Amino acid sequence: MLKEVPREEVARLVALFESKGALRVGAAVLQSADTLLDLYGEDIRARAYVTHDPMRGELMLRPDFTVPVVQMHMAEGQEPARYCYAGTVFRMQEEDTGRASEFEQVGYELFDRGNRAAADAEVFALIASALEGRGLRAAMGDIGVLRAAVEGLSTTPERKGALMRHLWRPRRFRALLERFGGRVAPAPSRAALLKRLENEPAEEILATAGVMMGKRSPDEVLARMARLKADAAAPPISDTEMGLLDDLLGVRAAPADALAHLRDLSVDLPAILPALDALARRFDALADAGIDLAALEFEASYGRTSMEYYDGFVFGFYAPQRPDLPPVASGGRYDALCRVLGQGREIPAVGAVIRPALLAEIAAGEAGR
């Protein structure tokens, strides 16, 4: 059920964003699901309300505004551009969570080919100002640092690709990392197949496997066997690199301390240096925008359970007194999403959303004390 949202709060946020030059836009409630669901990632795909229209194909109730706003901008937008919006989004919830399946979002998106660090700082500072005095805690991270670390590992491109696909699924990522590092044995079924592949051609194994089940073709199954065999022959990720990645994932400190720690790690993991230079520029831009960095916390793992289209700076604002609530505001950089939807065009972009109903809920709780 949609929680009551104070319209004056929505109006205040929209007016603030418009005062910064944002053009107010909208997005249809029903969105095409053909390609968009893949852009949201596993979590949103599992929670999207999907239906089928005989004329328009598979449709879904919009789970957020960012993707349709990016579509609109890449089709017809001017550059640079700032947009804002307000409206309801829809995400299915588990019965026992108590969270709303439809809720209001008010958002701000910035498309700019100029200084990316300054754009990141602009969006963060704007959201911080919109939430000033609400007693919220801010956290931030950078998916780009972790991506660079994975790219720098001394392992096969296939293993790097698998880790990249699961950056946003920490448990699956960890399980893959443990397997690629030789810390866990393959599952019994995989181990049995690999044993057979040592002595039998894959074609013979497939021929004796019985009736084909599922949607994979014989050629796809054979290709999968070849990948499994090649992966088994690859040397494990070294203990040194495993330790470095573990250390990186555990970084959680004030921005200056976090950056110093990460620079220490870069001595043995030089692939992250460009991402750290970008991180340092962002911290400088945040300070120039009046943000007190000492009051912030940088978490190298932050953002790994949020929207999968984020590929750089990520942040969120939380109510310390209400750990049961989702982020009151969240945002990040999504340059790759613009490339995917741009059909040959691309532009750097960063944005954020605020949930005004959560602000009202927190305020009501404070007033009731």
In the predicted model, is pLDDT for residue 225 greater than 90? Answer: no
Residues 6+ apart with CB under 8 A from 291: 121, 124, 125, 128
Please, are residues 79 and 347 in contact by the beta-carbon 8 Å criterion?
yes
In the predicted model, is pLDDT for residue 328 greater than 50? Answer: yes
Q: Name the packing angle between helices 218-233 and 188-199 (round to 10°).
A: 90
Q: Percent of the chain beyond pLDDT 90?
A: 55
Categorize the per-residue pLDDT at 98 as very low, low, confident or very high, splitting at 50, 70 and 90.
low
pLDDT of 1: 46
Q: Percent of the chain beyond pLDDT 70?
A: 91
Residues 6+ apart with CB under 8 A from 26: 85, 87
Three-state secondary structure call for residue 80 = coil
Q: Please report, for the chain, the start and end positions of each structural domain, with discontinuous segments joined by +.
A: 7-149+244-367, 183-235
Please, are residues 270 and 309 in contact by the beta-carbon 8 Å criterion?
no
Categorize the per-residue pLDDT at 333 as very low, low, confident or very high, splitting at 50, 70 and 90.
very high
Mean predicted lDDT score pLDDT of the chain: 87
The mean pLDDT value for 329-342 works out to 91
In the predicted model, is pLDDT for residue 141 greater than 60? Answer: yes
Please, are residues 300 and 248 in contact by the beta-carbon 8 Å criterion?
yes
Higher pLDDT pick, 288 / 36 = 288
Question: Would you tell me which CATH number, out of the four given (3.90.1150.110, 3.30.930.10, 3.40.720.10, 3.90.1720.10), belongs to the domain 7-149+244-367?
Answer: 3.30.930.10
Tokens of 4: 């009551």
Categorize the per-residue pLDDT at 4 as very low, low, confident or very high, splitting at 50, 70 and 90.
low
pLDDT of 212: 59
pLDDT of 334: 93
The mean pLDDT value for 86-90 works out to 92
The mean pLDDT value for 293-322 works out to 89
The pTM of the full predicted model, rounded to 2 decimals, is 0.86
pLDDT of 101: 81
Give 173-194 pLDDT, tens digit per residue: 999 999 999 887 777 777 777 7
Higher pLDDT pick, 54 / 84 = 84
Helices (runs of H) and strands (runs of E) counted in the chain: 16, 12
pLDDT of 315: 96
Instruction: Output the CA angle 171-34-51, nearest 5 degrees.
Output: 95
Lowest mean pLDDT among 146-155, 182-191, 255-264, 311-320: 182-191
In the predicted model, is pLDDT for residue 2 greater than 60? Answer: no
Lowest mean pLDDT among 208-222, 260-274, 319-333: 208-222
Give 189-223 pLDDT, tens digit per residue: 777 777 777 777 777 777 676 555 566 777 777 77
